[in-house]
Amino acid sequence: MTQTRIPVGLPRQNPTKPCWQTPPQLIADHRTTPTPPSKTTYAIIRPGITGTAIAYKLLQERPNASIVILEARQAPSGATGRNSAHCRVRRYLDSKNYLEAFGKEDSLKLEVLGEENVANLGELIKEWGIESI
């Protein structure tokens, strides 16, 4: 079997685009400044849904925080753009592996974190009136 080597580089040239990003969302190319600031309190690189949620929560707790979000392409792109319909707490089949790898206390912390993330996403959907199924 011959393996094809994929050149490493950022960002990939001519990426595929999901049908739900055609045409792009209004926020897809949003910028608040023409160039990134030279100094920030928080920098979130390739945020996806998780990093975006973190930025949102940070601004709720620290409204004057300086947050820079760096994305190679439009928002949402990457894994978030491909998997935007998925929201689950954990894969229960992995619980045994997590228990063995991290121990009982940290495995339970992962479980709680996952449940809190889903609850926070639900609150955000209700607060902003986002259409969802």
Residues 46, 71 contacting (CB under 8 angstroms): yes
| More reliable by pLDDT, 62 or 84 | 62
Q: Does the pLDDT of residue 1 top 80, yes or no? A: no
Q: What is the pTM of this model?
A: 0.54
Q: Among 44, 41, 43, 36, which residue's Cα sits nearest to residue 65?
A: 41
Q: Among 21, 35, 130, 121, which residue's Cα sits nearest to residue 74?
A: 21
Kindly report, residue by residue over 8-17, the tens digit of the pLDDT: 666 667 777 6
Kindly report, residue by residue over 81-113, the tens digit of the pLDDT: 655 555 565 566 677 888 888 899 988 888 888
